[in-house]
Amino acid sequence: MKPSSFEYVRPESLAETLDLLHQDPEESKVLAGGQSLVPMMNFRLARPSRLIDINRVPGLAGTRVEGDRLVIGTRTRHLAVQNMSGADPLARLLRSAAAHVGHLPIRTRGTFGGSLAHSDAASEWCLIARLLDATMVVESRARGRREIPAADFFLSIFTTAMEPDELLVEVSLPRLGDEHRTGFAEFARRAGDFAIVAVTTDLAVEKGVVTHARVCIGGVADTPFRSGAAEATLVGQRLDDDIATSPLARAAAEAAASEVDPPSDAHGDAPYRRDLVRAMLTSSLAQGVAR
């Protein structure tokens, strides 16, 4: 359980980081929080020959509001997201999802951007990025800055649309007006573990009617799964106060469960994951309405 040997470099600026990535993109790996990378290195499942530690690069951490967008720096720690202020639906959603990310000593180090770049389809930030159609801002020396929509960003488990010489710099999320009802629910057998299935939802509700619906599911595919069927079921419908037991929630849950094609593994077989999609979708919708 000791990593194989690597060269360690610690750039002190973004330009220096991009230069380093440019020199040797295939063999380099960016080290931010390290909470997923280092375990894989300890198991020798990952063996980069060069680690580029971006923890001392200024300007990569923190959040800022730009008009109707919230921009989250790539090295913003999970704990900083959990401690974010704001009573708007987006801030509430981010805080509630952050509370599910590992445990406190993981959240003090692990980063928002690192989690996205790791592209684990069950992880909280990947789901939320996909739910809200976030924009990933990536940068390289060769091609400068470019933006990748979340829909195109996650290619597979541990694989994103970023080129090896690119760094995820920041992520831009749409701020949500008060008409939005967001929720996040996940099921893990043990506190703090990766979810077997996680569901996050965002409904825009006007005069009691759903005008816009987004449903994103983790643990059922290689990438975060947007359930078009569930979204279509919800849009245009009137929300009951007791959504958890409402026919609408049941219909949305059934739509999502029929649409997904989950894998079977030691943590749960496909029928069980479908059951969890039903349960977590219902619970996520209920959270939104309870607010």
Residue numbers at the binding site for other proteins (CB under 8 A): 1-8, 10, 31, 34-35, 38-39, 41-44, 51, 53, 55, 79, 102-106, 108-109, 187, 189-194, 266-269, 271-272, 275-276, 278-280, 282
User: Whole-number minimum distance, CB 209 to other proteins, in Å?
Assistant: 26
- Residue closer to other proteins, measured from CB, 34 or 174: 34
* Residue where the block lists tokens 């389809």: 121
User: Whole-number minimum distance, CB 135 to other proteins, in Å?
Assistant: 29
Quick one: angle between helices 270-290 and 247-259, nearest 10? 140
User: Whole-number minimum distance, CB 3 to other proteins, in Å?
Assistant: 5
Cβ atoms of residues 125 and 150 within 8 Å: no
Of 261, 127, 273, 119, which Cα lies nearest the Cα of 202? 127
CB contact set of 83 (below 8 Å; sequence gap of 6+): none
User: Whole-number minimum distance, CB 206 to other proteins, in Å?
Assistant: 29
- Residue closer to other proteins, measured from CB, 80 or 136: 80
- Residue closer to other proteins, measured from CB, 9 or 161: 9
- Residue closer to other proteins, measured from CB, 41 or 204: 41
Cβ atoms of residues 169 and 145 within 8 Å: yes
User: Whole-number minimum distance, CB 176 to other proteins, in Å?
Assistant: 26
Distance (Å, whole) CA 9 – CA 69: 33
Q: Side chain identity at 41, as an amino acid letter?
A: M
Question: Beta strands of 129-270 (E only): which ranges?
Answer: 135-140, 144-149, 154-156, 159-160, 167-174, 180-187, 197-206, 209-218, 225-226
- Residue closer to other proteins, measured from CB, 4 or 156: 4
